[in-house]
Amino acid sequence: MGFADKLKGKKIAVIGGSSGIGYGAAQILLEAGADVTIISSSQDKVNSAVEGLQSTLFQSAQGKVNINGAVGDVRNEASFTELLVSLAPLDHIVFSSVDKIIRGPLAEADLDEAKYLFGVKFWGSVVVAKAIAKHAIISPAGGSLTLTSGAAAIRPKKNATIGSALNAGVITLTAALADELASKKIRVNTVIPGLVKTELWDKLGHSAEKQAEIFENGQQSLPVGFVATPEDIAEAYLFFVRADYSTGGVVVIDGGGSL
């Protein structure tokens, strides 16, 4: 099997794959020939994503699409672990699940909401990592876990205090997991996306006009001259899944926003 076919037939779970960056990652992995299962907490979103990916790849003459969906909530450790065990053996897991970006003045922060969101992105990452550490979820031949952080981790500033800490925690977690899971031949890496056009902006309550303003400003300020779509960010996930020599690594894919 040639390098181009490296992921052909590989079983990959994309947690948070029903929308946004996770959806883009699922698509690029399918295009690389992988068998992909997207996992979301909403059955409706899972169904819609599976149908959308099947339609998109069929129209692009990709041929048979090996896409499945499953419902699971990372806040429920027992049931989510059971779900991952039922999908075993997997070759790779991508974790891109996030409910909402935490932004705003610290003095006005809703800490209960912040704790809830930590339960998805940070503790969700821990739940998945613990499951693959404890159970034979990843193939004995080895594989990978790719997590998702955020630009606030490397550019902490006011109005992003909590989000900066959350995302920085994921980066530290990555390094520790890479060491801890090495004996199981599991590589652990993290993608740090910059400004991306996703549904999260709707969840922040920004109108279409406000979003257009944000993206126009981003387009003018970023060295690449445009704001990313989930498909642009997906390239980083494909790299980490394929790159056997990378563990404990971080890729910043932000259009040069950190320069």
Instruction: Give the start-to-end residue ranges of the domains of the chain.
Output: 3-193+228-251
Q: What pLDDT is stored for residue 86 in this prediction?
A: 98
CA gap 33, 41 in Å, rounded = 25
| Of the options 1.25.40.10, 3.40.50.720, 3.30.479.30, 3.40.50.300, the CATH number for the domain spanning 3-193+228-251 | 3.40.50.720
CA gap 136, 111 in Å, rounded = 36
Q: What pLDDT is stored for residue 114 in this prediction?
A: 87
Per-residue tens of pLDDT for the chain, all 259 residues? 567 789 999 999 999 999 999 999 999 999 999 999 999 999 999 999 999 999 888 665 556 779 999 999 999 999 999 999 999 999 999 999 876 677 889 999 999 888 888 889 999 999 999 999 999 999 999 999 999 999 999 999 899 999 999 999 999 999 999 999 999 999 999 999 998 887 766 666 667 787 778 788 878 899 999 999 999 999 999 999 999 999 999 999 999 988 8
Q: For residue 226, give Cα distances in angstroms to 24, 150, 183.
A: 17, 18, 41
- Give every CB contact of residue 236 below 8 A, 6+ residues apart in sequence: 191, 193, 251, 253
In this structure, the dihedral spanned by the alpha carbons of residues 3, 9, 10 and 15, taken in order and rounded to 10 degrees, is 120
In this structure, the dihedral spanned by the alpha carbons of residues 124, 143, 50 and 74, taken in order and rounded to 10 degrees, is -10
- pTM score, whole prediction: 0.93
Cβ–Cβ under 8 Å, residues 164 and 153 = yes
